[in-house]
A and B are shown apart, each in its own frame.
Chain A
Amino acid sequence: MTESQKNGLDGFRERYGPDNIIEYTPEESHLLHKFEWCINCGLCLAECVVLRNLVTNAMQYAGPRSIGTSLSRSTPDFWATSDTIYLCTMCGACEAICPAQVPIPEIVAMIRSKIPRQKDDLVPMAHRGLVHNLQESGNIYGQQIEPFAAVQRNPEYVLFVGCVGSYLERESVEHTLQLLERLGVNFTTIDELCCGGPTQVAGVPMVDSLAQHNLTAILSTGTSKVITPCPRCWATLSQHPAYAGKLEVQHVTQFLAGFDWKAMTDRVVTYHDPCELGRYRGEYDTVRATLRQVAPHFVEMPNSRETSVCCGAGGGLRGVQTRLSVQIARSRLEEAMKTGAEILVTECYSCLHNFYNARRSTDNIELYNLSEFLNVLMKENTLAD
């Protein structure tokens, strides 16, 4: 059919795609009325972790204020934000301080979701690579790896590890597996594919085959209860429409809070709230309850809970601007060390990995995920006995 004859959505998109005209989704159309509340007050600039780390850098970043009051207003021009919009870690510190709680990370996700259709070549290599990897190998790294060997029949829980843990922090994962075994938890690992969560960060649609595979792999074990150490997997598996309510998902820190812990170390410990656990889900207390039990000498960093500072790995920044991302992790690590703590605990493989990247051999700080830490302590205490 010629252009003049085609009707329907195809006809429309064919005519108007070249002008970068892209529709809002129903959620976006609704959320706009929250995005609109920015009053250009600039308070967000006080908390933006990217701005705080760029001030002596050659890169420019418009900051969350501009995202709210400027860059998000004209859909056909979203492609032109591509030199800024991928620098956001989507940490939500801006939203937390905002007088109207304008959801900047959601604005960023919206803008990023339009750019591939407008000018795909402006999507950073790292994001395009990520999508390619997901399609080809079912994980964000495009690698082949051994699944974990903690397979059980008739489990009560599935432990969903996630890509970052499986590929970059295997040692930490092994500790978590051991811990669950020690606690007598009836769980199994599965042959996972990526949960698909990173597609939102890259601004591309969820890869359906990922969710299909994961759901089958999980449900075929006979349970729909999932525990995961990765906050993004937690969010995706419990909230994304592709998994829509089919699973009962807990973050591992929530699960572990259900056990009785006793003091196991007198070393000074501090905790980093991962953005996607803390600000995104409001989960601050369960972890702390557990940590305070095992480590009575727990200290808070000056910026914690709602004002926790992002580790720099969020929003895909680690792939897009690795150096900046690690610099941000470095700042946070220094804040941790300044508290006098020798141990920094978190529960997010991305945070953990970025802190490892930022740590120097001269630094006196050990890094653990909570579930890893608990296993290490239990091991030490057993040996001591």
Chain B
Amino acid sequence: MMKTDVLVIGGGAAGAMAATTAARSGFDTTLVRQGYGATALSTGAVDLSEVAEWLRGIVTNAEMIHPTVDTVVADFLGLMAEANYAYVGSQDKDLILINAMGTVKSTHLVPETMAAGDLESIEGARLLFVGVQGYPDFDATYLSKSLRFLSDCGLVRTCFETASLEIEFPRVVHTANLSSFELAQLMDDEEVVLEMAKCVQEKADLNQYTHLALPPILGRDNSARALAILQDQTALCCFEVLSLPPSVPGFRMQRALDRAMKHRDVRIIHASVESFSESKGGIRSVRVVEKETEYVLDPGVVILASGKFIGGGIQRTDRLREPIFDLPVFVDSDCAPDAEMGTLLAERFVSEQRIFKAGLQVDERFHPVSPDGQVIYSNLLAAGAVLAGYDYSLGQGGLGVSMVSGHLCAQVALDQLGGKGVFV
């Protein structure tokens, strides 16, 4: 039986923020996770646009919303800096970044490797998209044309020019089926980055351009160095575009969060939660199993940050379930685990599909509640995409909500445990 003050289930953005916040206040913190999930698959950019809106539904004191988000942002930026993967940005400045599909997305906190790509601040720029032969996830020609089109038709406010080229990436033998991770691994090597810069210089007169728009492959571990070398060699501002899975920047962010947790002495156990026991209206113990090893944890507070469908935090076979604690699942604000899929889906793909607002309903202190509003377990909290009510794919939340909710859950936990946490 392992005693711990705060047990976090799930290691994505929500779980990691919860765990680091709890651990920083000196509480014994354990995180249980199985594999990676949506956070590692994300672009690695944190969208805060709907966080305030979402928080309005949870906190009573509207004046505290902006400062709360600022606090979380500061925390996050601090953690990332400690983990040697610096981020920049704030909730007050919308960044407009190019993605690998050739459209754009608004976001707020980005790693340094993406910062120079904010279209809002590069009016009049001349962008050179650099593709890699045999790497199908970044079609430089198409991106160049597409961004031009978006600028011409006003979907992107700034004006800029675009061009494209494709290089033969140094050291690779095959010019086909190259994946982001393979190329990123190569770019961890200084020599390779220098050679790559040379390839670009040989193929284009860089004096004609102001920016290099790069595939999201600027190194697995040494992205800052790769960026610096490229900018130094080419004398241009360089940036990675937003990535789709398999996403190296998403993976980097997740790894940085992992490092931040380890740095704070969060105990990380790779296991699945098999069962739990309750007593006096609270979670008493949680049994986790990894292959043939099992741990029984005795937590003060449990924070459930297990994600939605990708992470397995919410599942649906014939009905919607939360598989660990069997908590009632809501769609939006109705408790409707048996809801027919036909009532949760719309005819048009791009419309809202209510199923993706499924999850747990919580009170203002993040305790999951039953349909009649009763807190189910006194020491159980929930954060991140496991929560109902917002569809992050429609820009209603995302990593921003995950982090803020994770942070706030930790504050509640500390409060409950008699800590010094200041709650909103």
A41 contacts the other chain (Cβ, under 8 Å)? yes
Point out the residue from B41, B174, B270 that lies within 8 Å of A43, measured CB to CB: B41
**In this assembly, does A101 line the interface, its C-beta being within 8 Å of a C-beta of chain B?**
yes
Contacts A99-B37, A281-B292; A41 near B185 (Cβ below 8 A): no
A317 vs B181: C-alpha distance in the bound complex, in angstroms? 22
B1 partner residues in chain A, CB cutoff 8 A: none
Whole-angstrom distance from the CB of A359 to the nearest CB of chain B? Answer: 23
With contacts A56-B172, A57-B173 taken as known, whether A305 is within 8 angstroms of B270 at the C-beta atoms is yes
Whether A282 contacts B179 by the Cβ 8 Å rule is no
Chain B contacts with A in 179-214, Cβ cutoff 8 A: 179-183, 185-186
Q: Is B312 an interface residue (CB 8 A)?
A: yes
The answer to whether B246 has its CB under 8 Å from any CB of chain A is: yes
Contact A63/B293 with A43-B246, A99-B312 known, Cβ cut-off 8 Å: no
> Given known contacts A46-B251, A57-B173, A58-B173, is B310 in contact with A99 (CB within 8 Å)?
yes
- CB closest residue in chain B, given A62: B177
Give the shortest distance, in Å, between B266 (CB) and chain A (any CB): 15
CB pair A55 B182 closer than 8 Å: yes
Please tell me which one of the listed residues B41, B174, B291 contacts residue A281 in the complex, with CB atoms under 8 A apart: B291
Are the CB atoms of A41 and B41 closer together than 8 Å? yes
A283 touches B181 (CB 8 A): no
Given contacts A55-B182, A57-B173, A283-B292, contact A99 B311 (CB under 8 A): yes
> What are 6 contact pairs spanning A and B, CB under 8 A?
A39-B310, A46-B251, A55-B171, A55-B185, A57-B173, A97-B40
* Contact A51–B181 (Cβ < 8 Å): yes
| B301-334 contacts to A (CB < 8 Å) | 310-312
Q: A45-68 vs B: 1/0 string, CB under 8 Å? A: 110000110011110101101000
Q: Are B179 and A41 in touch, CB under 8 angstroms?
A: no
Bound together, the chains give a CA A283 to CA B291 distance in angstroms of 8
Bound form: Cα–Cα A283–B186 in Å: 32
Binding site for A on B (CB under 8 A): 34-38, 40-41, 171-174, 177-183, 185-186, 220, 245-246, 248, 251, 270-271, 290-293, 310-312
Closest to A66 in B: B177
Provide the residues of chain A in CB contact with B186, threshold 8 Å: 55-56
Identify 14 new A-B residue pairs, CB closer than 8 A, beyond the known A97-B40, A279-B291, A282-B271: A42-B179, A42-B180, A43-B251, A46-B220, A51-B182, A52-B181, A56-B186, A99-B311, A99-B312, A101-B35, A281-B293, A282-B291, A285-B293, A306-B270
Residues of B within 8 A of A41 (CB): 41, 245-246
Residues of A within 8 A of B178 (CB): 55
Q: Which residues of B contact A320 (CB under 8 A)?
A: none
- CB pair A46 B181 closer than 8 Å: yes
Report how far A93 CA is from B224 CA in the complex, Å. Answer: 26
- Closest B residue, CB atoms, query A286: B293
- Complexed CA–CA distance, A100 and B220 (Å): 23
A99/B172 in contact, CB under 8 A: no
**A67-119 interface with B by 8 A CB criterion:** 95-101
Q: How many Å from the CB of B367 to the closest CB on chain A? A: 27
| Complex contact A43–B173 (CB within 8 A) | no
Min CB gap B272→A, angstroms? 8
A280 within 8 A of B: yes
Q: Which 5 A-B pairs have the closest CB atoms?
A: A42-B246, A282-B291, A282-B293, A282-B290, A55-B182
- Contacting pair B36 A97 (CB below 8 A): yes
Q: Given A55-B185, A56-B172, A99-B312, is A283 in contact with B35 using a C-beta cutoff of 8 Å? A: no
A52 in contact with B179 (CB, 8 Å)? no
A45 touches B246 (CB 8 A): yes
| Residues of chain A within 8 A of B37, CB atoms compared | 99
Kindly list chain A residues whose C-beta atoms are within 8 Å of the C-beta of B41: 41, 43, 99
> A60 with B174: in contact, given A46-B246, A99-B310 (CB under 8 Å)?
yes
How far is B185's CA from A282's CA once the two chains are assembled, in angstroms? 28
Q: How far is the CB of A36 from chain B (nearest CB, A)?
A: 13
| A 23-43 contacts with B by CB, 8 A | 39, 41-43
Contact A56 B171 (CB under 8 A): yes
Contacts A96-B270, A98-B35, A305-B270 given; indicate if A43 touches B40 (C-beta within 8 A): yes
Q: From B294, which residue of chain A is reached at the shortest CB distance?
A: A282
When distances are taken between beta carbons in the complex, the residues of chain A under 8 Å from B35 are 43, 95-101
Contact among A56, A100, A282 for B292, CB-based, below 8 A:
A282
Whether A55 lies near B251 (C-beta < 8 A) is no
Residues 285 to 308 of chain A near chain B (Cβ within 8 Å): 285, 305-306
- A42-B245, A281-B291 known; A63+B179 contact, CB < 8 A: yes
What residues of chain A lie closer than 8 Å to B251, measured between beta carbons?
43, 46
Residues of A within 8 Å of B246, CB to CB, are 41-43, 45-46, 65
| A43 surroundings in chain B (CB, below 8 A) | 35-36, 40-41, 245-246, 251
Give A367 to B40 CA distance when docked, in angstroms. 35
A225-281, CB < 8 A from B: 279-281
A51 to chain B, nearest CB (A): 6
Is B173 touching A45 in the complex (CB atoms < 8 A)?
A: no
Bound-state CA distance A280–B34 (Å) is 14
Residues of A within 8 Å of B293, CB to CB, are 281-285
In the bound complex, what is the Cα–Cα distance between A63 and B171 (angstroms)?
A: 20
